[in-house]
Structure 1
Amino acid sequence: MPKIKRDDELSNTDFIESLDRGLRVIEQFGADTRAMTLSDVAKATDLPRATARRILFTLERRGYVSSDGKMFALTPKVLTLAGSYMTSNQIVTILQPVLDQVSNAAQEISSLAVLLGPEVVFVARASPARVFSSGIDLGYRLPAYCSSVGRAMLGRYSNEELDKTISEMTLTAMTPFTLTDKEAVKAAIIVDREKGYSLVDREAEPGFRSISVPVRRYDGTIVAAINIGAHVDRVSTGEMIDRFLPLLREAAATVKPLLL
């Protein structure tokens, strides 16, 4: 079987520009742009109008986009792409039952996230039987530098690698409590790495605090992070450390031998 090349090994002939453009179009549809006109898509993707039109019509024919003649929107078929990831990803498959156990024990939402560039993406989630409303759903993204799952995963880098990674990030205040000084963020990640967990208090989202531990595969490499989050009015930082941290640590230790 041919070996898949890394990004730095790819030549111009290996890159399929039309596929890249099609994916860029799909990525433009989100919570803030549920439906878009042809002009909207062309502008958002920086593509010629004629190119955007061909891509949209191709996606429509394949069933990934619907149109009323003026507005274009994604269809539920796009979920099959995410579903393929969920069912084929070893981390999600192994962690989901463990997340369910953690969530039931804590009676709080528990989530699994992976690192994607400067952001974290939530790829699995468990909630207790009681009704609970939360903005963190599958596919939800947060900046890595100010989220507990992000800082837990950034701890996989050496100090030198962390310097480079943080220097390339744009640190924006998400709330009045967000750390935006790069040296302070780096110091927080190093401290969290030594502790083995990260607790972020109202930095990523107003009124919300979260505690996370890194998920390591069999050789010790950090591949994800799991967390429990709650509103500040309901759960104190002390309770997170005393009650939630042991649950998360036990879960991470349980799956470590199973992750290859």
Structure 2
Amino acid sequence: MARLRPQDAERRRAAGPDFLEALARGLAVLQAFGPERRQMTLAEVARVVDLPRATARRALLTLAQLGHLETDGRLFRLTPRVLRLAAGYLGGNGASTILQPRCERLSLAIGEPCSAAVLDGEEIVFIAYGQPTPMLNVTTIVGWRLPAFCTALGRVLLAGLPDAELEAFLARLRPEPVTRLTELDPAAIRAQVLETRAQGFALVDQEAEIGFRSLAVPLRRYDGRVVAALNLGMHTERGSAVILHERVLPLLRAEAEEISAQLV
């Protein structure tokens, strides 16, 4: 039987005998594809997912038979059918339904892109996105992932974690640079997250993208738990950090308060 990666083996030990290795491998194969790996050979998939070629081949052919992948005999790529996996979450998640029109409205009002995200492991996942001009397809942003530690959205979501979960996240974090300005010192990252928790917002300046500043605030449900974060970004030439703090922060906080009243 093919071995699982260390993190997957740990999940199996935690889950006990009900853990399905074949399902875990199949999902890992699907998740291996992305913007930087739009199509791959069998050998490439096996290397990325860290599985024997025979195991990776069975997973790829099964997913192709189910319609989630297509192949020309050598290269494999995702098909639109994989969107069904996300559709259930986006359609059934009340937060996504509430946040999409809010992001669109706020983006038009301020003239800058507005987004919302949730925390998934060590990454944030965008669940809503609005922009003032139709330059990008919203579907290219929704579902997009970024590291949590160096983004405004991520720091807000990390700040909302219970102490034990935050410390566990920081203990396993191995930060890698996204830009030349990305903070990589674990102690400094921890201090930034705690500062975010204390002040109730995060302002990140070019750590995730050069030439781009982001400001984010938490979205809390009825019991005070942070379930998502709301963000507005601005190119550096369009506004300083002071402008974001003085002009945008009050608007984001007011919007977050209205949204939180609808979250359950």
The normalised TM-score by structure 1 is: 0.90
Select 1:237's aligned residue among 238, 241, 249: 241
Q: Determine helix, strand or coil for the equivalent of 1:85.
A: helix
Structure 1 pair 33/223, CA: closer, same or farther in 2 (3 Å)? same
Q: Determine helix, strand or coil for the equivalent of 1:233.
A: helix
Q: Deviations over 1:180-213 (max 9, x none)?
A: 2222222222222221111001111111110000
Structure 1 pair 132/69, CA: closer, same or farther in 2 (3 Å)? closer
* 1:120 counterpart letter in structure 2: I
Q: Which has the higher contact order (CA 8 A, sep 6+)?
A: 1
* 2:177 counterpart letter in structure 1: A
Count of aligned residue pairs for this structure pair: 253
Q: Deviations over 1:63-87 (max 9, x none)?
A: 1111111111111111121122111
2:69–2:78: 8 Å Cα contact kept in structure 1? Answer: yes
| Residue 29 (structure 1) aligns with | 33
Select 2:166's aligned residue among 162, 176, 184: 162
2:12–2:19: 8 Å Cα contact kept in structure 1? Answer: no
**How much does 1:133 deviate?**
9.1
| Residue 128 (structure 1) aligns with | 132
* 1:78 counterpart letter in structure 2: V
Structure 1 pair 164/72, CA: closer, same or farther in 2 (3 Å)? closer
Is 1:226 aligned to 2:230, yes or no? yes
* 2:208 counterpart letter in structure 1: A
1:92-241 equivalences in 2 (<5 Å): 92-129=96-133, 131=135, 137-159=141-163, 161-241=165-245
The normalised TM-score by structure 2 is: 0.88
Select 1:62's aligned residue among 62, 66, 84: 66
| Residue 3 (structure 1) aligns with | none
Give the Cα separation in 2 of the matches to 1:23 and 1:63. 14
**How much does 1:43 deviate?**
2.3
Q: Determine helix, strand or coil for the equivalent of 1:157.
A: coil
**How much does 1:114 deviate?**
0.6
Structure 1 pair 165/243, CA: closer, same or farther in 2 (3 Å)? same
**How much does 1:60 deviate?**
1.3
* 1:256 counterpart letter in structure 2: S
Q: Determine helix, strand or coil for the equivalent of 2:178.
A: coil
Give the Cα separation in 2 of the matches to 1:161 and 1:64. 34
| Residue 16 (structure 2) aligns with | 11
Q: Determine helix, strand or coil for the equivalent of 2:213.
A: strand
Root-mean-square deviation (CA, aligned residues, Å) is 2.2
Percent of aligned pairs with the same amino acid: 44
Q: Deviations over 1:134-166 (max 9, x none)?
A: 9x8122222211110111111113555533321
For structure 2, list consecutive stretches of 5 or more residues without a partner in the other structure.
1-10
Give the Cα separation in 2 of the matches to 1:108 and 1:178. 23
Give the Cα separation in 2 of the matches to 1:29 and 1:157. 29
